[in-house]
Structure formats: structure tokens, C-alpha cells
Structure 1
């Protein structure tokens, strides 16, 4: 059992919130967001590569993504990867670039995306609770090894609980903001 380290617990909890932010950035709203294409991998040169390693993705307009493929021979595989990614995007190949108009979301799709954002948030909450449990276990282990006294353990547990509450609150704010963005675009 590791020794109690508040800084490490805080770093791990904040990491869960950041992971949630990253996951949510890939969820599609009515606006063009380059992070939408982050999970896409393309089969080029005989291997799978992330899209951002074979092309530049930009958002020149609020409802348009532009993908500029560096090696023109890879335009076909990039277009195919985007089409088969299940994002509901229809790539338009103009010979040099691939344009991706972002269609309006239907009400059903909005609800589906909101539900997905809830799942991401719950996964992050579980991660934070696991870090909390690790901290509590470390405090109890330190007390049983006689490295800290009972009142120090209780003080430490209160610190861990406050840290957990703060990070869950931050996580809920991030999730609520994304849900509002999804439902009102």
C-alpha cells in the first residue's frame, strides 16, 4: 500500500476531469470542432495512423471542417475513414481538400449525445471515487503502521473528501456545460 500523498491524489482526480473534457470535446454539437475527428484512424502506408498525422484539420467556418491531406495519394483512404467513423458526416472531396459540412442535429440525436455525455461523466466520477478510496486506504494503512495518529488520519480523510467533492463539482460543471451546448445548438 502506498503512503498517503495528497498532491498525487489531487493530480489523479484532476486528470479524470481533464480526461472527461477531452472525451466531451469529441462529441458533436451543431458547431464545427476539430476535436471531432481526433478518434479517427486512417489506413495508409500499410498501417493505421491517427488522422492528425496524415492531414491538417481546421474549422474555417462555424459549420464546416476542412481536412487538408498532406500526401494527395491518401485522400481516398482519409475520405473512407471519415465516412465509416459513424459521426454522421458526409465528406466532400474537391481534389485537394476534403470538406465536411456539419449538419444540424436532430432532436433524437441531441438526446442520444446528451446521454453519451452522461456516460462519460459517470465514468469520470467512478475514476475520482477510486482515487478517493485509494487515499482513504493509504491513510488507514499509515495509521495501522503507526506512522500517523488517529486524529491525523481523520484530518487526512476530511482533506480527501473535500478534494473529492471539489473535483466532482468541477466535473459536474463541465458535463452540464457540454449538455447545455448539445441541447441548445
Structure 2
């Protein structure tokens, strides 16, 4: 029973860490990578469709992405969606291919992205702490039902706290790496 509760908490904490990684990928650094455009949706025949389902996205060089829509008639809609996104990108369309140059980051935008990364990391920490709180509450419920002893409850709470500390340290490590990446010129 206690092992199931600890495993469930660990799974939830791992999902929070994975979500943080996905959110960090959406924060622009100086380098081009396709996951940068993951959050963009395009109005395609009246439905909001993720960009990666409408077009092939690839990296041309370190500072340029290329987007090639599968349906050539959707090119203007794709271009508008990229321009409207809060990424500050301006695509250049030449025939079927859309090039998206990554403008160099200014000191001000770097600080803004760093602030955004810190916010995402804090959200992940909160999510991890919520998983800890729920797991400890489940253990206390077992104690109330007299299915475990007080010693077992204390040991389980200590184990859950150790798991929590490990995942919070992972979040801090990921944030430090992202900040280093953002501040790199």
C-alpha cells in the first residue's frame, strides 16, 4: 500500500518534470529547433490545428528554421499564425518553402525569457509539492484506518520527502541549464 502511494507520487512528479522540459523547449534561445513552434496553432478550414500537423518543420542552419506546409493553400494561414505567435518571428516565404530566421536575442529579451523560465520552474515545483501533499494525505488516511502504524507513517512521509527533494533538485538543475543557455551570447 505505502509502496503504491510512493510510486504514484513519483510518477506524478516525473510527469511534472517532463512537462517542464516541454515548456522549456518552447522558450526561444539563440539557436533554432523545431520544438520552438510546438505551441503554434493554425486556423485551417475553421479548426485550430497544431502547426506540426500541417507542415514539415526542419532546421536549415543554427539560426534558421524551414517550414513546408503539406497543403500549399495553407501557406498564408501558417505565415499569419507564426507572425501572431509571441515568439517574435517573421517568416520569409519563397514559393513552397517558408524560412524563419531567428533574430539575435537582445539583453532585454534574454532577461524576459529567463524570467519566463523561472516561472515555469516554479510551476513545476508547485506541482511536485502538490503530489507530495496528496501522497502524505493518503498515508495519513491509512493511519486513521489503522492499516499502518505511526512508525510506518513517519517512515513513509520521510521517504516521500526524499523523493520530493530529488525532483525539486532536478527542476533546479534544468532551470540552471536553461538560464545558462539563454544568457549565452
Aligned pairs (5 A) from 1:100-115: 100-115=100-115
Q: Which residue of 1 aligns with 2:8?
A: 8
* C-alpha contact (below 8 Å) 1:55/1:69 kept by paired residues: yes
Instruction: State the TM-score, normalizing by the size of structure 1.
Output: 0.97
User: 2:21 matched to which residue of 1?
Assistant: 21
Contact 2:5–2:139 (8 Å) recurs in 1: no
Moved over 2 A (4+): none
Take 2:101 and 2:4, find their aligned partners in 1: how far apart are those partners? 51
**1:4 Cα deviation (Å)?**
5.8
1:47: Cα distance to partner?
A: 1.1
Q: Which residue of 2 aligns with 1:93?
A: 93
Match of 1:73 in 2: 73
d(CA) in 2 for partners of 1:16 and 1:9? 11
Tell me the matched-pair count: 184
Partners in 1 of 2:46 and 2:149 — Cα distance?
60
Structure 2: gaps spanning 5 or more residues: none
Deviations 1:160-184 (A, max 9, x none): 0000000000111011100110011
Q: Is the 8 A contact 1:64 1:102 kept in 2?
A: yes
Where do residues 27-42 of structure 1 align in structure 2 (5 Å cutoff)? 27-42=27-42
What is the match of residue 170 of structure 1? 170
Q: Distance in 2 between matches of 1:18 and 1:168?
A: 13
Q: Which residue is equivalent to 1:152?
A: 152
TM-score (ref. length: structure 2): 0.97
Structure 1 equivalent of residue 135 of structure 2:
135
Post-superposition offset of 1:45: 1.6
**Alpha-carbon deviations, 1:120-179, whole Å to 9, x = none?**
000000000000000111111100100000000011001000000000001110111001
Deviation at 1:20, TM superposition (A): 0.4
